[in-house]
Chains A and B, each alone.
Chain A
Amino acid sequence: MINKIFSILQKDLKIEFSKGHLFFSVILYVVSSIYIVYLSFQPSGLFNLEVWVSILWILILFASISSVSKSFFQESQKRNLYYYFIVSPDELIISKLVYNFLFLSGIVLLTFIIFSFLLGDIIISKNFFVVLLILGSFSISNCLTLISAISYQVENNSLIISVLGFPVILPILLLLIRISKISSIDFSWNLIREDIYLLILLNIILLTLTKLLFNYLWRN
């Protein structure tokens, strides 16, 4: 099972590295949206921590919606049929989850770097913030992978994924924004312990449901 997961993952990564257009198009998307934010806050600049953090997470949300939605669409119909015969749904969804997680953490970290380069570097507890960004991309990918699988089945799918994805991802995003607001100046484990536990709990629920429900979805 693990071998198969790895081989799908390897194939996805190979395609991504050889073509590279998806990653760079998302990066370009991120850079241009950051630039819009940067220009719209001129000339005074963005110094409010709450606004800074919220805009960063909103940008991450939009970037991840557009990148995760591709994870099933980039496959052709025929290849999906081929998968149907050689791998079990569990193997496929786990490899997609890992792939989305890797992809998103790359995007999210780059977004953070470019954002803090252009809009001022106001995060003080950087180490924790990077950990939080990775945790955030893990949660977002867990939440959106099944949604993208659902919207893959629908014909006019580009709109559907945002309609379905935004309300579902909101609890996670609210938690992430709150944790980053509390801990970006001064990191203290006591203040955010409950939120982190809740985030981990939500991830466990999401992963279980994704694995469980994808079985049924894939049988179509």
Chain B
Amino acid sequence: MKYIKIGCVFLLTYTFTAGYLFDVPALPILNETVRALYLHVPMWFTMIFLLLLSSYHSYMFVSKGEELHESKSYNYAHVGVYFGILGLLTGMFWAKYTWGTYWTNDPKLNGSAIGLLIYFGYFILRSSIEDESKKGKISSVYNVFAFSMLIPLIFILPRLTDSLHPGNGGNPGFNVYDMNSQLRLVFYPAVTGFIFLGLWISDLRLKVLKLK
């Protein structure tokens, strides 16, 4: 955990300085907004990573039955949803300046919004059960089940339809970025840094939960 914290501070400091100062390729329409890549995309990576951890712990809880796994899975889902909301917000501001609107009918946007709905459903389910032992088991079962439907929603369905979103429907995505080592220089540290930040926040929240 100690190394994660040190790495997080180091990597995020680097992201926020280098991300604003380094040169970026001048692409039509995108222009300087390509820097949103450093903030927007890592949010989704972190969200998926945390939700994956959450469903892993849910599965461990239903199969092993240790309380710790349950509180961990709830916690990761919670922090993951925060990152998801931030990802939507950063994406919306980026969309305002490149597509000209905050929200369009785009499979990727809809998929992620529905993904958040799934997890709101999980929180509602978890809070609507009174019985402590039942609560963990039922909500964990739903968590695992829902995560399996989140993956096609975010990763598979948008790739099958036309989309404005970079990386889908013939729009340039990582293939173009791959050619540009300038962006990768900041992008990968940013992803790692935000994932570390997510782990750090979840660790703190878990400690608070334990104290309660």
Contacts and interface: CB of A to CB of B under 8 A. Distances in A.
A130 B142 CA distance: 31
A121 to B, nearest CB: 28
A167 B134 CA distance: 23
Contact of B134 (A153, A174, A198): A153
A217 B118 contact: no
Contact of B114 (A146, A153, A167, A178): A167
Contact of A217 (B133, B137, B161): B137
Contacts of A220: 133-134, 137-138
Interface residues of A, number: 31
B85 interface: no
28 contacts: A147-B142, A150-B145, A153-B129, A154-B138, A160-B124, A160-B125, A163-B125, A164-B121, A167-B118, A167-B121, A168-B118, A168-B121, A168-B149, A170-B153, A171-B149, A171-B152, A174-B157, A195-B160, A198-B152, A198-B156, A202-B152, A206-B148, A209-B145, A209-B148, A210-B145, A213-B144, A216-B63, A220-B133
Interface in B132-169: 133-134, 137-138, 141-142, 144-146, 148-149, 152-153, 156-157, 160-161
A171 B153 contact: yes
A164 B141 CA distance: 12
A175 interface: yes
Interface string A190-220: 0000110010001001100110010011001
Given A170-B114, A198-B152, A206-B149, 11 more contacts: A154-B128, A155-B130, A163-B125, A164-B125, A167-B115, A168-B121, A202-B152, A209-B148, A216-B62, A217-B141, A220-B134
Interface string B101-140: 0000000000000110110010011001110011001100
* B interface residue count range (under 10 / 10 to 19 / 20 to 34 / 35 or more): 20 to 34
Most buried by A among B62, B114, B129, B145: B145
Interface of B: 62-63, 114-115, 117-118, 121, 124-125, 128-130, 133-134, 137-138, 141-142, 144-146, 148-149, 152-153, 156-157, 160-161
Given A217-B137, A217-B138, A220-B137, A171 B118 contact: no
Contacts of A205: 148
Interface of A: 143, 146-147, 150, 153-156, 160, 163-164, 166-168, 170-171, 174-175, 178, 194-195, 198, 202, 205-206, 209-210, 213, 216-217, 220
Contact of A168 (B124, B129, B145): B145
Nearest to B65: A216
Nearest to A210: B145
A134 B142 CA distance: 26
A159 B152 CA distance: 25
Contact of B128 (A160, A167, A210): A160
Contact of B160 (A154, A170, A198): A198
A210 B137 CA distance: 14
B125 A175 contact: no
